[in-house]
With several copies, the nearest count.
Chain A
Amino acid sequence: MSEITPEIVKEHGLSEDEWKLCLEIMGREPNLNELGIFSVMWSEHCSYKSSKKWLKTLPTEAPWVICGPGENAGIIDIGDNQAIIFKMESHNHPSYIEPYQGAATGIGGILRDVFTMGARPICNLNALRFGEPDHEKTRHLVSGVVEGIGGYGNCVGVPTVAGECEFHASYNGNNLVNAMAVGLADADKIFYSAAAGVGNPVVYFGSKTGRDGIHGATMASAEFTEDSEEKRPTVQVGDPFTEKLVIEATLELMKTGSIVAIQDMGAAGLTSSSFEMASKGGVGVELELDQVPMREEGMTPYELMLSESQERMLVILKPGMEDIAKAVMDKWDLEFAVIGKLTDTGNMVLKWNGEVVGDLPIDPLALASPEYDRPWVKTPRPAELKASDVESNVGRIDALKTLIAHPNMASKRWIWEQYDHMVMGDTVGRPGGDSAIVRVHETNKGIAVTSDCTPRYCYLDPHEGGKQIVAETYRNITAVGAKPMAVTDNLNFGNPERPEIMGQIVGCIEGIGEACRALEYPIVSGNVSLYNETNGTGILPTPTLGAVGLIADVDKAASVAFKAEGQAIVVLGETKGWLGASRYLEVLCGREEGAPPPVDLAQELATGNFVRAEILSGIDTCHDISDGGLAVALAEMAMAGSMGCTIDIPANVEAAYAWLFGEDQGRYIVTVDADKADAFVMKAGEAGVTANIVGKTGGSDVVLGGEAVSVAELKDLHEGWMPNYMAAAE
């Protein structure tokens, strides 16, 4: 009698081919426990089966990379025996179902990825995307997600220092919550997850296991339909207080020298953590599931293996170190249990009160998970628009005012003021600039962090869009004076079984790879979130990147605010007036079309190197030009410094609005003392960087070619949108 019917197989999300492969690997029909394990291990979320083929093409190496993708997080060397460990991860689906807890547990999960490798978390970032502001669900989602991120991050005491927040109709049914954690470790004290040492104890610590989020990982791999809301009870609740204890206990345990390998229990809980550890170490495992600390009565082996209860860790101890480890957990009031041992069988044997309830071969299951070469079609590149293809029936000042008050361009202060962005006492560059800067404790070194994505470019031209994201993070890091070191990616897309979507995935990854290679800027960790679709409508392709840079002396860092009156304003990089796919076109003309601006990677490198060197030798005001072009960037500098500027529009430009609002890539604005401006322009030219003096700082107005608006009015508009929007719900 078979207990596994085709319906049960289907409920577990296995395709017919996958079921056949499963039978082949097992050599018999699996029981329900075993099927559950196959199901989560082979879910898109855990196996990357649609994206693996393409992820392999990304550059992951550089002399300063200590550990690339494949471990819990990526690691780079920042000198002085110090390492930065970081990763970004999505919690999209859970945050749509229960915004507060979904976002909160996203923060918890990404923090664990970082401290499980031996790092003390030093900052968090969050990249958020929601549906249109006037969609009925948006406010509720924004409110819950922001509160959840703050609720968790503030409580664990890790500053949330940067992020993004964008709105677009394509996210109406699928908001995106991408969280990044950055940690600091001693380069010679990093912990990995490969289990080793037959006979060594497998130890569990942290919270108890409950029936949380069972099948969360499979849920994250399925499209939403109207009745998905029925899946609600699987929502996990985060306990940031316990997470704080787990952080401290983990770091303390690491100092005792008792650890062979360690891994957090993330998606697919005990299953994926134990399989990954065993598979990496080439060992077998025997688990006594009845020893797992349980929150509820009557829990089954199936539930224990699949539960996604939060704040739990799995560790392989050196023999005889159990008491030392237990003493640490007792100090922090955490659960501690020896739940098994390593074996030489190469199998995962699950026992329940002495009886075998599951026996699976580890490597075939972990390594032979499916890899698909899904069919894809290249996204056709749209026509390039000329300035004359774009109507301009609004005056430049009105256009500027509209842009900076637009939901996608308005200040996100309402968000970051709900995040403790100063705790730990090293936030040297607070939110609101191009990159935030967190000082390396007790040194003068700083880590610059940013997260970026321009989904509208990626939609219109995935390849150029992919390049552009890399370049934008590179610029945001450079604009504060830091050297861009490495990137983590969080690839959010629709249903990969549709060839157009697969085409977006391929295009973006290729573009990202090309740019990272050209800029010597490797991808060291990442995460993929697919099936972000509701009833067949996918999100804009959103491959969010998080980047980390290093500045040797934080006192030299530049910021966007105008600081002194009468300085010359210099634009570095060439301004042609590219309006295709621009914010201007979208916001003022209601058109989301045209080819996005191309990125010249060789020029990007040259300009970046020049800007960085100039900041380190004294320039203190710098801003990259991105959404909304030159005019918006100038307005942002004026608002940040509460100081105006006067800009002369060159006589020879084809159209003033294109010059002001075009989004040509590879540009920065800096200010230099007026008497040194000509020499500076010469020097830039010698470095192969186009430089143009466009005006000067000073006054209380932003004056664009003779038309003026006060900085105070701009500020009201820019700062006003989000609080007003959110207040409408209160």
Chain B
Amino acid sequence: MKAKVHVTLKNGVLDPQGKAVEHALGTLGFAGVGEVRIGKYIELELTDDAVKSKENIEDMCKQLLANTVIENFDVEIVE
């Protein structure tokens, strides 16, 4: 069992890496790309039944995996 977590920057928060990628894509000749936002994708292997609740993983996000001042997170549990 696994948890897949997406951590993304909130709207309005500056994303220097996204900006740089946006610019670099232009330089490389890839036209037609608008805003680029870079987030994290975290896969957690769950070895123990106790953790398998979504709430539990959300707790991990709040405490560590995301900085909720600037980031949103999204948790999905998969087999």
Contact = CB atoms under 8 A, between A and B. Distances in A.
A98 B70 CA distance: 9
Interface string A88-101: 00000000011011
B19 interface: yes
A237 B12 CA distance: 10
Interface string B1-38: 00000000010111110011001100100000000000
A521 to B, nearest CB: 40
B20 to A, nearest CB: 7
Contacts of A97: 69
Contact of B19 (A235, A239, A296, A310): A239
B67 interface: yes
A309 B13 CA distance: 10
A100 B67 CA distance: 10
A227 interface: no
A235 B27 contact: no
B12 A296 contact: yes
Interface string A714-730: 00000000000000011
B30 to A, nearest CB: 15
Max chain B C-beta neighbours (<10 A), residue from A236, A238, A239: A239
Nearest to B11: A296
Contacts of A212: 12-14
Given A239-B19, A241-B20, A730-B27, A309 B69 contact: no
Nearest to A102: B69
Given A729-B27, A730-B23, A241 B69 contact: no
Nearest to B14: A237
B14 A333 contact: no
A676 to B, nearest CB: 54
A70 B20 CA distance: 36
Contacts of A296: 12
Contact of A730 (B10, B12, B24): B24
A239 B14 contact: yes
B27 A233 contact: no
B13 A237 contact: yes
Contact of B20 (A101, A211, A730): A730
Nearest to B68: A232
Interface in A94-131: 97-98, 100-101
A242 interface: yes
A237 B16 contact: yes
Contacts of A242: 16
Contact residues on A (Cβ < 8 Å of other chain), bracket = 20 to 34
Contacts of B67: 98, 100
A265 to B, nearest CB: 14
A237 B16 CA distance: 8
B16 A235 contact: no
A97 B70 CA distance: 11
Contact of B10 (A100, A233, A236): A233
Contacts of B23: 333, 730
A374 interface: no
Nearest to B9: A237
Interface of chain A, main secondary structure: loop
B69 A98 contact: yes
Interface residues of B, number: 15
A542 to B, nearest CB: 25
B26 to A, nearest CB: 10
Contacts of B68: 232
Contacts of A309: 14
A255 interface: no
B12 A211 contact: yes
A309 B16 CA distance: 12
A416 B27 CA distance: 26
B14 A210 contact: yes
A295 interface: yes
Interface in A275-323: 295-296, 309-310
A233 B24 contact: no
A237 B27 contact: no
Nearest to B19: A239
Contacts of B14: 207, 210, 212, 236-237, 239, 295, 309-310
A233 B70 CA distance: 7
Among B12, B13, B14, the one with the most A-chain Cβ atoms within 10 Å of its Cβ is B14
Contacts of B13: 212, 233, 235, 237
A309 B19 CA distance: 14
Given A97-B69, A98-B70, A235-B69, A241 B16 contact: yes
A164 B19 CA distance: 32
Residue of B16, B67, B68 with most partner-chain A CB within 10 A: B16
A210 B12 contact: yes
A730 B20 CA distance: 8
Contacts of A101: 69-70
B67 to A, nearest CB: 7
Interface string B54-79: 00000000000001111000000000
B12 A233 contact: yes
Contacts of B24: 729-730
Contacts of A98: 67, 69-70
A232 B12 contact: no
Interface string A205-241: 0010011100000000000000000001101111111
A239 B16 contact: yes
A658 B13 CA distance: 55
A235 B70 contact: yes
Nearest to A296: B12
A237 B70 contact: yes
Nearest to A207: B14
A97 B67 CA distance: 11
Contacts of A100: 67
A232 B19 contact: no
A271 to B, nearest CB: 20
Contacts of A241: 16, 20
A239 B20 CA distance: 10
B22 to A, nearest CB: 11
B24 to A, nearest CB: 7
Nearest to B28: A729
A240 B68 CA distance: 22
Residue of B24, B68, B69 most packed against chain A (CB within 10 A)? B69
Nearest to A728: B27
A98 B10 CA distance: 14
B73 to A, nearest CB: 15
A463 B77 CA distance: 62
A671 B73 CA distance: 60
Q: Which 10 A-B pairs have the closest CB atoms?
A: A239-B16, A237-B14, A98-B69, A232-B69, A211-B12, A235-B69, A237-B13, A210-B14, A235-B70, A296-B12
Interface of A: 97-98, 100-101, 207, 210-212, 232-233, 235-242, 295-296, 309-310, 333, 729-730
Interface of B: 10, 12-16, 19-20, 23-24, 27, 67-70
15 contacts: A101-B70, A210-B12, A211-B12, A212-B14, A232-B69, A232-B70, A233-B13, A235-B69, A237-B14, A237-B70, A239-B19, A240-B16, A241-B16, A729-B24, A730-B20
Given A98-B67, A210-B14, A233-B12, 14 more contacts: A98-B69, A98-B70, A212-B12, A232-B68, A232-B69, A233-B69, A235-B70, A237-B14, A238-B16, A239-B19, A241-B16, A241-B20, A242-B16, A730-B27
